[in-house]
Amino acid sequence: MVQVDASASGPLFGLPGGDVQLAVGVDYRRETYEFNGSAAAAASSPNIFNAAFDNVNALTPKNRTIKAAYAEVLVPVFDGFELTGALRIDDYTGFGTTTNPKITAKFQPVDWLMLRGSYNTSFRVPSFNQIFNGVTVSPYSGSDLADPTKCPGGVPTSAFGSGLPCAQIRPDIATGGNLTLRPETAEQYSLGVVLRPAPRWSASADFWVINVDDTIQILTLRDLINNASTFPDKFVRDGSGNVTLIDSAGSTPVRVRPAGSNLPCEAGSTWAEPLHSTSASMPPCCCASSKRLRLRWPSSISSACSAMPAIWG
Asked if residue 279 has pLDDT above 80, the reply is no
pLDDT at 301: 31
* 3: β partners: 29
DSSP codes joined into one string, 195-243 = EEEETTEEEEEEEEEEEEEEEEE---HHHHHHTTTT-GGGEEE-TTS-E
Average pLDDT over residues 123-136: 85
Q: pLDDT, tens digit, for every residue of 264-276?
A: 655 544 444 433 3
Asked if residue 311 has pLDDT above 60, the reply is no
Percent of the chain with pLDDT over 90: 36
Distance CA 38, CA 57 (A): 8
Distance CA 229, CA 245 (A): 16
Asked if residue 263 has pLDDT above 90, the reply is no
pLDDT at 264: 63
pLDDT at 229: 87
Q: Where does the pLDDT of residue 295 fall: very low under 50, low under 70, confident under 90, or very high at 90 and above? A: very low
Among 20-29, 79-88, 275-284, name the one with the lowest average pLDDT: 275-284
E strand segments, 79-200? 81-92, 96-110, 113-124, 136-139, 172-175, 184-198
Average pLDDT over residues 110-124: 94
Domains of the chain: which residue ranges? 2-312
pLDDT at 135: 82
pLDDT at 164: 87
Average pLDDT over residues 161-171: 87
Q: What is the mean pLDDT of the chain?
A: 78
Distance CA 162, CA 170 (A): 13
**CB atoms near residue 4 (< 10 Å):** 9
Distance CA 294, CA 17 (A): 29
Distance CA 295, CA 176 (A): 32
Give CA 63 to chain center in angstroms.
22
- Asked whether the beta carbons of 217 and 190 are under 8 A apart, the reply is no
pLDDT at 121: 96
If you ran DSSP here, which 8-state letter would residue 309 be given?
H
Q: Where does the pLDDT of residue 27 fall: very low under 50, low under 70, confident under 90, or very high at 90 and above? A: very high
Q: Is the pTM of this model over 0.75?
A: no
CA angle 258, 252, 237 (to 5 degrees): 130
If you ran DSSP here, which 8-state letter would residue 134 be given?
P
Q: Where does the pLDDT of residue 130 fall: very low under 50, low under 70, confident under 90, or very high at 90 and above? A: confident
Among 27-31, 49-53, 251-255, name the one with the lowest average pLDDT: 49-53
